[in-house]
Structure 1
Amino acid sequence: MDSAITFKTPYEKRLELVTQALMASSTLDNDVAHTAAVHVLHALDSIPEKTIR
């Protein structure tokens, strides 16, 4: 028996979450929502975070 184990990285999980959110709140299809989600996550990842001392 050969069972495949699928592993999603944290980025892939966030990408799926944002894609689903975009599709739920608009009329975007999956491909367009996925592309937009990539841009959204890139923008969010570019925001500098404050470090606590």
Structure 2
Amino acid sequence: MTALFVSRYEARIDLVQKTLRDHSKLDEKAAAALAVQVLRALDGLPEQVR
């Protein structure tokens, strides 16, 4: 059995994408695109604000 490596960034994208899909009517592609934008916005916030 081979272990599959998933980066922390990919795991965060998956979490946000799943949350968006669970709480909206977005399809998988739209949720994935929006998840990337959400994480970019959150990563742009200063550490003290997060």
TM-score strictly above 0.5: yes
Gaps of 5+ in 1: none
Q: TM-score normalized by structure 2?
A: 0.88
| Corresponding residue pairs, total | 48
Post-superposition CA distance 1:17-39 (Å, at most 9, x none): 00000000000000000000000
Structure with max Cα Rg: 1
Supply the RMSD in Å over aligned alpha carbons. 0.9
User: Which amino acid counterpart does residue 32 of structure 1 have in structure 2?
Assistant: A
Gaps of 5+ in 2: none
Q: TM-score normalized by structure 1?
A: 0.83
Q: What is the aligned-residue identity percentage?
A: 42
